[in-house]
Amino acid sequence: MEFPRFCDGDDPLGWIYIAEHYFDYFSVPDAQKVKLASFHMEREALQWFQWLDCIHCFPRWEDFSKALCQEFGSSDLEGCAESLLKLKQTGSLRDYISEFRCLANRTRDMTPSILRSCFIGGLKKELRHDVKLL
């Protein structure tokens, strides 16, 4: 299992998710997480890290991952929650699920029951009833 590379344009939340699983699997100590992650940054992301390394010290992974999301993530996380609440299935179920997951991954404050309600509420009418029965 290789540690994931991060380049500008990559999804920071997805990268952080995989990195945290890597850390857990290999029992990486907290003090080494940021250093290990920095070895796997490329292009603009590496330049960003080098700049931050000169002016800040990221002693904790949580600080680093938050800064990474602010720099390379969506600038409108509240807008993602609003988009999720308004999302409606217009095409295939597979496309709807994909878009729903993408938005849901960026709205960490929603409870599972709210996410479930959003998902069901956005389904086409003919599917909504069948899913509610499950």
Write out pLDDT tens, residues 45-65.
Answer: 899 888 887 777 667 888 888
Together in a domain, 58 and 23? yes
Buried b (16+ CB within 10 A) or exposed e, 40-79: bbeeebbebbeebeeeeebeebeebbebbbeebbeeeeee
What is the Cα 46 distance to its own chain's centre?
A: 19
38 within some domain: yes
- Domain end among 56, 72, 88: 72
29 falls in which pLDDT band (50, 70, 90)? Answer: very high
**pLDDT tens digits, one per residue of 74-129:** 655 556 777 888 889 998 999 999 888 888 877 767 788 888 888 888 898 888 87
* Domain extent at residue 56: 12-72
Residue ending a domain, choose from 33, 55, 72: 72
Q: What is the pLDDT of residues 31-42, one digit of tens each?
A: 899 889 989 999
> Is 64 found in the same domain as 16?
yes
**Structural domain tally of the chain?**
2
The overall average pLDDT reported for the chain is 83
| pLDDT for 22 beyond 90 | yes
Res. 18: pLDDT tops 80: yes
